[in-house]
Chain A
């Protein structure tokens, strides 16, 4: 069998879909790290909560796609801000490792809380009509198109907020210096809350899209996806927003292409070996900058 163009195009579409979801979640990791230099390990589980909120809104309330997406994003953002206020803020001056352990604890809490509510995997109904278009021999479904377009739109919007608005400027300032900037009248706690709200709402959006693409959801779904998104953020350069997007697409592409051209058993091991090699040559990630140590 020759490696024909349609096969590569089809796999490239698969890669774009998976990559855009990884990228959306990776943004949450990278934003929190950028502002607090803390890894929010509960982020993968916030993504899972997003999928469950979407399930609840779509089945119990029977809402259509757009309100489901918006309400899920708001709900998860609210949860993210609450977690920051209750669990992370009291530990802001504590050793970094305490905050990381707290984040792990929050993640396990979210998993088991969802598990206690209902241990059964749930099925998310189709919220948008699934149409499959055939362009030549390449099939693209309306769902695939929606996920890719919507993710890119959200990323562009985020990039705009961070680079072109006052809130974004405040975020960048706080991430630069947490001592002087508040003295200049920037409300630090508010800016950190806004960062959490933005990052986690993207995680919630990813939960909705993941739930539509892979409609069987369970309380442990956030663990593996969360790890992969975290790796994407590191590969792109943690703390760098554009880096997280690039990292997500790279990981998605590597995973799909390895499975496409090698026996699929090799997927994870080849994919992660490649990422290790990449990190050896670019230890700060693709777009990351080494932070000068202040003595």
Chain B
């Protein structure tokens, strides 16, 4: 017993020296990523991984991140959650306990970010989800208060739902709307409900509010019902892998009114899977690659040079999540989970790729604006801005 504790003390002391020693190996900071590399939305995971590797490489190539006078190299650990809620939680657990990371970026989809955020919160480790827009990600499930350690780089669904509802009413002059959404997915359900509420409060009428479950491929019954209700617009707040099926089946059943979407549409994969069927439709998202600020242009150019593709919103938000983390680490002045959390909550203004972000104390949700994009000639084209 005594021997063991003595040994432990020696190991502990040695590790302290190893960190302090200026002549030894360069000091490193470990950062974890949980992404959807396989499963139903692998394009999201791929973008997240690309942007994460790019953000870390930029810092390491520049000699490291300077915190309190010491330059730190960043060591990145990427875990796949396989598009499963339980694997998201266990990946977060593994990063925290085995890799001992200082913070976690990801997961992206709300249905995976929510379970992972519970783990991070209870382990007191900062988690920044780039793309999870469901309010529950940053809120405690029991008390409804804000989680202390969970942040995000994107806006939240109540805001997005309002933006799309207002857009349908004001720009498309729609008076009757239909909604088809995945009732088994937090993101889709949340945004559909906010859309319905806002649309009806502003004088519109939701004539069909139809559901399905994740993995369904046949929507003919629901779409026939929607067609019969005669809407002016159909809102599909669903993921890019399902939207093409819904649009194609809707068109075959004779629905001719425009379809509308949310930020889950914003992957290049959507255009590939749609063929030409999604041409002319609109969706709300985080940034427009063709109407970018100087900060964004620099990022877009670097990303294109490295990966040969235009970064989608997940890539941009992941890059911003890392930017927020670097800022928090610098402001904290030391590599400590608690200090990083405090610095994160006090970021007054961050100029990111996806716009300016600001955190209020006591909330992990940034204040930022949204954009409406249109699919035109097989590309996402900026259409309008929407401010909070």
Q: Are B269 and A121 in contact (CB under 8 A)?
A: yes
Q: Are B252 and A130 in contact (CB under 8 A)?
A: yes
- B370 at the A interface (CB under 8 A): no
Scan residues 234-284 of chain B and give those whose CB is less than 8 A from a CB of chain A.
Answer: 241-242, 244-245, 248-249, 252-254, 269, 272-275
Q: Are B241 and A14 in contact (CB under 8 A)?
A: no
- A71 at the B interface (CB under 8 A): no
Chain B residues contacting A1 (CB-CB under 8 Å) are 228-229
Q: Are B252 and A132 in contact (CB under 8 A)?
A: yes
In which size bucket is the chain B interface?
35 or more
- B211 at the A interface (CB under 8 A): yes
Known: A216-B242, A216-B273, A264-B212. A11 touches B224 (CB 8 A): yes
Chain B's closest residue to A134 (CB) is B254
Known: A125-B275, A264-B210. A143 touches B252 (CB 8 A): yes
Chain A nearest CB from B314 CB (Å) reads 14
Selected from A14, A130, A216, A265, the residue in CB contact (under 8 A) with B221 is: A14
Scan residues 241-267 of chain A and give those whose CB is less than 8 A from a CB of chain B.
Answer: 255-257, 259-260, 263-265, 267
Q: Are A265 and B211 in contact (CB under 8 A)?
A: yes
Chain B residues contacting A149 (CB-CB under 8 Å) are none
Kindly state the separation between the CA atoms of A242 and B36 in the bound complex, as whole angstroms.
Answer: 43
Q: Are B221 and A255 in contact (CB under 8 A)?
A: yes
Chain B's closest residue to A115 (CB) is B38
Chain B residues contacting A7 (CB-CB under 8 Å) are 224, 228
Selected from A123, A210, A255, A264, the residue in CB contact (under 8 A) with B272 is: A123
- B217 at the A interface (CB under 8 A): yes
- B215 at the A interface (CB under 8 A): yes
Chain A's closest residue to B214 (CB) is A224
Kindly state the separation between the CA atoms of A213 and B273 in the bound complex, as whole angstroms.
Answer: 14
Chain B nearest CB from A54 CB (Å) reads 15
Chain A residues contacting B244 (CB-CB under 8 Å) are 123, 215-216
Kindly state the separation between the CA atoms of A134 and B254 in the bound complex, as whole angstroms.
Answer: 9
Chain B nearest CB from A212 CB (Å) reads 11
Kindly state the separation between the CA atoms of A112 and B242 in the bound complex, as whole angstroms.
Answer: 21
In which size bucket is the chain A interface?
35 or more
Selected from B42, B210, B211, B245, the residue in CB contact (under 8 A) with A120 is: B42
Chain A residues contacting B253 (CB-CB under 8 Å) are 10, 139
- B218 at the A interface (CB under 8 A): yes
Chain A's closest residue to B242 (CB) is A216
Chain B nearest CB from A252 CB (Å) reads 9
- B349 at the A interface (CB under 8 A): no
- B200 at the A interface (CB under 8 A): no
Chain A residues contacting B346 (CB-CB under 8 Å) are none
Kindly state the separation between the CA atoms of A257 and B225 in the bound complex, as whole angstroms.
Answer: 11
Chain A residues contacting B248 (CB-CB under 8 Å) are 215
Chain A nearest CB from B179 CB (Å) reads 11
Chain A's closest residue to B45 (CB) is A119
Kindly state the separation between the CA atoms of A55 and B117 in the bound complex, as whole angstroms.
Answer: 38
- B338 at the A interface (CB under 8 A): no
Chain B residues contacting A121 (CB-CB under 8 Å) are 40, 241, 269, 273
Chain A nearest CB from B40 CB (Å) reads 7
Q: Are B269 and A141 in contact (CB under 8 A)?
A: no
Chain A's closest residue to B239 (CB) is A121
Q: Are B272 and A265 in contact (CB under 8 A)?
A: no
Chain B nearest CB from A188 CB (Å) reads 38
Which of A215, A255, A264 lies at the interface centre, i.e. has the most chain B CB atoms within 10 A of its CB?
A264
- A268 at the B interface (CB under 8 A): yes
Q: Are B254 and A214 in contact (CB under 8 A)?
A: no
Q: Are A264 and B222 in contact (CB under 8 A)?
A: yes
- A126 at the B interface (CB under 8 A): yes
Which of B39, B217, B248, B252 lies at the interface centre, i.e. has the most chain A CB atoms within 10 A of its CB?
B217
Known: A14-B220, A216-B245. A268 touches B273 (CB 8 A): no
Chain B residues contacting A141 (CB-CB under 8 Å) are 252
Q: Are A256 and B220 in contact (CB under 8 A)?
A: yes
Chain A residues contacting B272 (CB-CB under 8 Å) are 123
Q: Are A259 and B273 in contact (CB under 8 A)?
A: no
Chain A residues contacting B252 (CB-CB under 8 Å) are 130, 132, 139, 141, 143-144
What are 13 of the A-B contact pairs (CB < 8 Å)? A10-B253, A14-B224, A18-B218, A119-B38, A123-B272, A123-B273, A144-B252, A215-B244, A215-B273, A216-B241, A216-B245, A220-B40, A224-B215
Residues of B within 8 A of A (CB): 37-40, 42-43, 183, 210-213, 215-218, 220-222, 224-225, 228-229, 241-242, 244-245, 248-249, 252-254, 269, 272-275
Beyond contacts A120-B43, A268-B213: 16 other A-B pairs, Cβ-Cβ < 8 A, are A14-B220, A119-B37, A119-B38, A119-B39, A144-B252, A214-B218, A214-B245, A215-B245, A215-B273, A216-B241, A218-B40, A218-B241, A256-B220, A256-B221, A259-B221, A259-B222
Residues of A within 8 A of B (CB): 1, 7, 10-11, 14, 17-18, 115, 119-121, 123, 125-126, 130, 132, 134, 139, 141, 143-144, 210, 213-216, 218, 220-221, 223-225, 255-257, 259-260, 263-265, 267-268
Which 7 interchain pairs have the tightest Cβ spacing? A259-B221, A14-B220, A214-B217, A119-B42, A139-B254, A123-B273, A256-B221
